[in-house]
Amino acid sequence: MDFLTIIDILGTISFAISGVLTAMNKRMDVFGILIIAAVTSVGGGTLRDVLIGKTPVTWMLNMTFIYVILGATIAAIVFRPQLKYVRKSLFLFDTIGIGLYTTAGVQIGLAADLHPIICILLGTMSACFGGVLRDILCNEIPVIFRKEIYATACILGGVVYLILYRFDVDTSLTTIIAGSVVITVRLLAVHFKLSLPSVYRDAAMPE
């Protein structure tokens, strides 16, 4: 098991746990919690695969995801009173996860021969859409649309990936640098409480 696989599993775990917490908050039953955990973890990659026609989608071809999500969900339910003590680690795993998911998405887009900007969008979608689906299923406006710098970090990382790719930098190195950009931007944004401006509406709605 190499370094990237370990990071991938840590990312999946932290995504699953964020799903468990949201679902418990909504007083779902054990089945609902499991589904929300799974959707948060694999939702982004699934949308990416469906849109580019890479089917059966990735999580169906590899049981690792299923086992990791199942294990993380059970552990999060059992040890839920203790979760607050690992809050910082979870945040870090989550951030590393989006870094990795972003670069994986960009890579898959390039392999499918899509336009560089589309590849950045695919990467961002892979990293962010799981959380969007989680919020829709929990009947909330997705948090990412309101006050997160999440997606901006992914887009910047995607841009860096493509620049390095153009200069023929080695793929592993590109992945590590672009992933680090995502992680750094997100950590800085949370630390300095940066967020995108929201725009209040003062115009007429067309009917």
Phi and psi angles of residue 57, each rounded to the nearest 5 degrees, phi first: -60, 155
Task: Count the site residues for a copy of itself by CB under 8 A.
Answer: 75
Can you tell me which of 2, 168, 192, 203 binds a copy of itself, judged by CB under 8 A? 203
> DSSP secondary-structure letter at 67?
H
CA angle 86, 90, 93 (to 5 degrees): 140
Residue 30 or 173: which CB sits closer to a copy of itself? 30
Residues with Cβ < 8 Å from 169, sequence gap 6 or more? 177
Whether omega for the bond prior to residue 206 falls within 30 degrees of 0, making it cis, is no
Quickly list H helices, 53-170: 63-78, 87-111, 116-137, 150-166
Query: Quick one: tokens of 40?
Result: 């948060």
Can you tell me which of 1, 168, 170, 199 binds a copy of itself, judged by CB under 8 A? 199
Closest by CA position to 48, among listed 88, 7, 107: 107
Q: Under rule CB under 8 A, which residues in 156-185 are in contact with a copy of itself?
A: none
Residue 180 or 195: which CB sits closer to a copy of itself? 195
Interaction between residue 207 and a copy of itself (CB under 8 A): yes
Interaction between residue 204 and a copy of itself (CB under 8 A): yes
Query: Quick one: tokens of 203?
Result: 């115009």
Interaction between residue 87 and a copy of itself (CB under 8 A): yes
Please identify which residue in the block is written with the tokens 């607050």.
Answer: 84
Considering the complex, what minimum distance in angstroms separates the CB of residue 173 from a copy of itself? 27
Query: Quick one: tokens of 205?
Result: 């709605």
Q: Under rule CB under 8 A, which residues in 44-63 are in contact with a copy of itself?
A: 46, 50-53, 55-57, 60-61, 63
Query: Quick one: tokens of 29?
Result: 């039953």
Considering the complex, what minimum distance in angstroms separates the CB of residue 172 from a copy of itself? 26
Can you tell me which of 71, 74, 152, 165 binds a copy of itself, judged by CB under 8 A? 152
Considering the complex, what minimum distance in angstroms separates the CB of residue 4 from a copy of itself? 22
Interaction between residue 1 and a copy of itself (CB under 8 A): no
Can you tell me which of 5, 26, 188, 194 binds a copy of itself, judged by CB under 8 A? 26
Distance CA 89, CA 113 (A): 36
Interaction between residue 108 and a copy of itself (CB under 8 A): no
Considering the complex, what minimum distance in angstroms separates the CB of residue 96 from a copy of itself? 13
